Chains A and B, each alone.
Chain A
Amino acid sequence: MTIKRSRAAYYGKKLLIFLVSVILLSMTVFVISRLTPTDPLQAYYGERTEKMSVEEKEWARNKLGLNDPIPTQYIRWAQNALKGEFGISYKYKQDVVQVIAKRMNNTLILGGIGFVLTFAGSLLLGILCAWFEDSWLDKLLCKLGTIVSCIPEFWFSLVLILIFCVQLKWLPSSGAYSVGKADDLMDRIIHLILPMIVVIIEHLWYYAYMIRNKILEEVRADYVLLCKSKGLSKRQIMFRHCLRNILPTYISLMAISVPHIIGGTYIVETVFSYPGIGTLSYESARYADYNMLMILCMMTGITVIFFNIIGQIINERIDPRVKANEVVETSEVSEG
């Protein structure tokens, strides 16, 4: 019984931390966006704002409820949000949920497939490097990886566009599909290739290098010697023992990186004019589309906080000695 109760308390505490963080996050974003001196009327009325008189502007502000003190505005927003109403987008004059729903798929496809491929690819690459430790292959991959991870995302995208779209004319340079071909799967895949390459390449080495080092640390452990003396082959030791030992750490790290990879596509989306959440959040922050901004920030924020906590839980389950924040810290440290 005591074990059960303590486990409930454990998850209860995590849930509490999660809720408090989410509320604080929503307050921070709300206040910051309200204090930024960008005019939300610009998002609502577009170019007409410049021709509006002071009275008209005042009337519009009152109508949108922008003249109330910030706490009042926040409470109103929070009450509606709890009911599931996130308001309309000033720019699109539609329910924000509808606007986002249309684009969500695009980002999920790009980020999701990118994440899975990064996950699998970095594991393979890491094992490959560790297997041939200090050989020319390992050294070459390490050098190459360092260089590739230094290339800024936007420039890499530009170079790919220059080569494959402008010079060779093999692939389209923008959008998620050609006009009128929204349902054509091949067309979508062709549009996905370049952005996907950028997303994968930009993240691949970071994780692959981590796997490589983890394995190298693992093969120096004493049990590997024991396995060897028992006559197990290199492959058996690597896959049945070493990999098993590093997988849990890797999985918890990947849990933390879910929002990092899926949410980190906005530069790629902008360069390739890919209609996803990234371009939308850029617009909403730029033009003070408050309701849109709030829901997007909450979505990314909640995924970040959620997966951080998941990572902590996985890690604490695997190794009770690990203090709550440790994994998050190391993952950020290595990012530099």
Chain B
Amino acid sequence: MTDQELFTQVGIREEKASAAAVKSKRSLPIFSIAVLVLIILGCLLADVIATKDPAYLDLMNYTKAPNGEFLFGTDTLGRDIFSCIWHGGRVSLFIGFFATLISTTIAVVYGSISGISSDWVDTAMMRVTEIFLSVPGLLVILFIQAILGDATVVSLSVVIGITSWYSIAKVIRTEVRQIRKSEYVIASQCMGGSFLHVLWHHLAPNFISAIMFMVVMNVRSAIASESTLSFMGMGLPLDVISWGSMLSLSERALMTKAWWIILIPGFFLVVLLVCLTNIGNWLRQTANRKESNL
């Protein structure tokens, strides 16, 4: 092997590749953001876009394949799928964001308390989350659902929010434990800063970048949970239109080979989830180098 060959083998190639990789990883996922914005706009303007009343049961035209009048066809109850997509998207998106708001709030409070407390309390609090994690999620969901009464959009968000805060809380706790002994935190406490003051002004700015991507991923998993729960018959009832409840008709649709009832809402769901994932991954790579070491 000549020196030249050896050099190309071990030389600067690696640096180049990694620099290029970093650059490509840092670039904004414009396509995903654009699609996401389009979907959100479509749902906000549902009343303008929808060609039919989404709740109207057109008994003459049930299970119709997509055609000029019903752009995406009609479902087994005779509802126009095109209109349902935009109206249902509102519900799915709302649940995604509201559930994430709930879970993030719980996680921030729980994680910071656990992180700032003494070792003993901290260990106990973390063990408790582990035990919660090993209780089957299904049971917890049924339990909360039973307490809150019939499933509504808000109650379902609460259920999903309450069952999905553990991982964010753990990250916050780890971050807080690293910075809680820093001079500025201690100084603030000495000057009489309350827990909330320290949390808001000193701790939060430090862990916010670490959890941003998890928050986006949480929106994603909340939307996915909504659809799964509604499909399994534990979420929204049929008359509350969401992408999940639309898909709960698919078992009937399978028998009549009505592919559009299954594929069209599912397609929108997957596109939305992929966009959120891409944005989440981008956030992870830009904001938090530690995470990319996975």
**A53 in the interface (beta carbon within 8 A):** no
- Rounded to whole angstroms, the CA-CA distance of A225 and B218 in the bound complex is 40
Whether A158 touches B254, Cβ cut-off 8 Å, given contacts A37-B146, A150-B274, is yes
Q: In the assembled complex, which residues on chain B have CB atoms less than 8 Å from the CB atom of A229?
A: 6, 10
**A42 in the interface (beta carbon within 8 A):** no
Q: Hey, what's the 0/1 contact readout for B269-289 against A, CB within 8 Å counting as 1?
A: 110011001101100000000
- Rounded to whole angstroms, the CA-CA distance of A38 and B227 in the bound complex is 24
**B170 in the interface (beta carbon within 8 A):** yes
CB-based contact A217/B214 at 8 Å:
no
CB-based contact A336/B217 at 8 Å:
yes
CB-based contact A335/B9 at 8 Å:
no
CB-based contact B131/A147 at 8 Å:
no
CB-based contact A159/B257 at 8 Å:
no
- Rounded to whole angstroms, the CA-CA distance of A300 and B6 in the bound complex is 55
**B63 in the interface (beta carbon within 8 A):** no
Q: In the assembled complex, which residues on chain A have CB atoms less than 8 Å from the CB atom of B140?
A: 32
Q: Hey, what's the 0/1 contact readout for B218-260 against A, CB within 8 Å counting as 1?
A: 1011001001100110000000000000010010001001010
Whether A336 touches B143, Cβ cut-off 8 Å, given contacts A228-B9, A297-B136, is no
CB-based contact B167/A134 at 8 Å:
no
- Rounded to whole angstroms, the CA-CA distance of A150 and B140 in the bound complex is 24
CB-based contact A336/B273 at 8 Å:
no
**Which listed residue (A25, A285, A286) contacts B131, Cβ 8 A?**
A25
Whether A301 touches B134, Cβ cut-off 8 Å, given contacts A220-B14, A329-B170, is yes
**B293 in the interface (beta carbon within 8 A):** yes
The distance from the CB of B89 to the nearest CB of chain A, in whole angstroms, is 15
**A170 in the interface (beta carbon within 8 A):** no
* Of A54-62, A160-168, A192-200, the one with at least 4 CB within 8 A of chain B: A160-168
**Which listed residue (B126, B136, B170, B224) contacts A152, Cβ 8 A?**
B224
- Rounded to whole angstroms, the CA-CA distance of A161 and B254 in the bound complex is 8
**Inter-chain CB contacts under 8 Å: number:** 154
The distance from the CB of A152 to the nearest CB of chain B, in whole angstroms, is 5
**Which listed residue (A159, A161, A225) contacts B263, Cβ 8 A?**
A159
Q: In the assembled complex, which residues on chain A have CB atoms less than 8 Å from the CB atom of B269?
A: 152, 155
A interface residues, tally (CB under 8 Å): 62
- Rounded to whole angstroms, the CA-CA distance of A24 and B134 in the bound complex is 11
- Rounded to whole angstroms, the CA-CA distance of A150 and B220 in the bound complex is 9
- Rounded to whole angstroms, the CA-CA distance of A333 and B294 in the bound complex is 9
**Which listed residue (B21, B133, B167, B231) contacts A154, Cβ 8 A?**
B231
Whether A308 touches B130, Cβ cut-off 8 Å, given contacts A152-B269, A155-B266, A220-B14, is yes
Whether A146 touches B146, Cβ cut-off 8 Å, given contacts A21-B130, A25-B131, A330-B294, is no
- Rounded to whole angstroms, the CA-CA distance of A270 and B233 in the bound complex is 11
Q: In the assembled complex, which residues on chain B have CB atoms less than 8 Å from the CB atom of A285?
A: 136, 138-139, 142
CB-based contact A28/B14 at 8 Å:
no
**Which listed residue (A147, A153, A158, A228) contacts B250, Cβ 8 A?**
A158
CB-based contact B143/A304 at 8 Å:
no
CB-based contact A146/B278 at 8 Å:
yes
The distance from the CB of A226 to the nearest CB of chain B, in whole angstroms, is 10
CB-based contact B135/A297 at 8 Å:
yes
The distance from the CB of A325 to the nearest CB of chain B, in whole angstroms, is 7
**A322 in the interface (beta carbon within 8 A):** no
CB-based contact A25/B134 at 8 Å:
yes
Interface of B is mostly: helix
**A208 in the interface (beta carbon within 8 A):** no
**Which listed residue (A32, A134, A150, A225) contacts B135, Cβ 8 A?**
A32
**B190 in the interface (beta carbon within 8 A):** no
Q: Hey, what's the 0/1 contact readout for A292-336 against B, CB within 8 Å counting as 1?
A: 010011001100110010000000000000000100111011111
Q: In the assembled complex, which residues on chain A have CB atoms less than 8 Å from the CB atom of B293?
A: 213, 217
CB-based contact A167/B257 at 8 Å:
yes
The distance from the CB of B55 to the nearest CB of chain A, in whole angstroms, is 23
- Rounded to whole angstroms, the CA-CA distance of A29 and B143 in the bound complex is 10
**A267 in the interface (beta carbon within 8 A):** yes
Whether A134 touches B20, Cβ cut-off 8 Å, given contacts A150-B273, A161-B254, is yes
- Rounded to whole angstroms, the CA-CA distance of A224 and B177 in the bound complex is 35
The distance from the CB of B288 to the nearest CB of chain A, in whole angstroms, is 10
- Rounded to whole angstroms, the CA-CA distance of A149 and B217 in the bound complex is 12
- Rounded to whole angstroms, the CA-CA distance of A134 and B18 in the bound complex is 10
Q: Which residue of A lies closest to B140 (CB)?
A: A32
- Rounded to whole angstroms, the CA-CA distance of A35 and B139 in the bound complex is 12
> Which 6 residue pairs spanning A and B have beta carbons closest together?
A336-B217, A150-B273, A304-B134, A301-B134, A332-B167, A155-B266
> Can you report 30 residue pairs joining A to B where beta carbons are below 8 Å apart?
A21-B131, A21-B134, A25-B131, A32-B135, A32-B139, A36-B142, A37-B147, A146-B281, A150-B220, A150-B270, A150-B274, A153-B228, A155-B247, A155-B269, A158-B250, A159-B262, A162-B257, A166-B254, A166-B257, A167-B257, A210-B294, A231-B1, A267-B232, A286-B142, A300-B134, A301-B134, A301-B136, A305-B130, A325-B170, A328-B130
Chain B residues with a Cβ under 8 A of chain A: 1, 6, 9-10, 14, 17-18, 20-21, 126-127, 130-136, 138-140, 142-143, 146-147, 166-167, 170-171, 174, 213-214, 217-218, 220-221, 224, 227-228, 231-232, 247, 250, 254, 257, 259, 262-263, 266, 269-270, 273-274, 277-278, 280-281, 291-294
Chain A residues with a Cβ under 8 A of chain B: 21, 24-25, 28-29, 32-33, 35-38, 133-134, 146-147, 149-155, 158-159, 161-162, 166-167, 173, 210, 213-214, 217, 220, 225, 228-229, 231, 266-267, 270, 281-282, 285-286, 293, 296-297, 300-301, 304-305, 308, 325, 328-330, 332-336
Sample of 19 more A-B contacts, CB < 8 Å, known A134-B17, A155-B231:
A21-B134, A36-B147, A37-B146, A150-B277, A151-B273, A152-B266, A154-B247, A155-B266, A155-B269, A162-B257, A213-B294, A217-B293, A231-B1, A282-B138, A304-B134, A329-B171, A332-B170, A335-B167, A336-B220
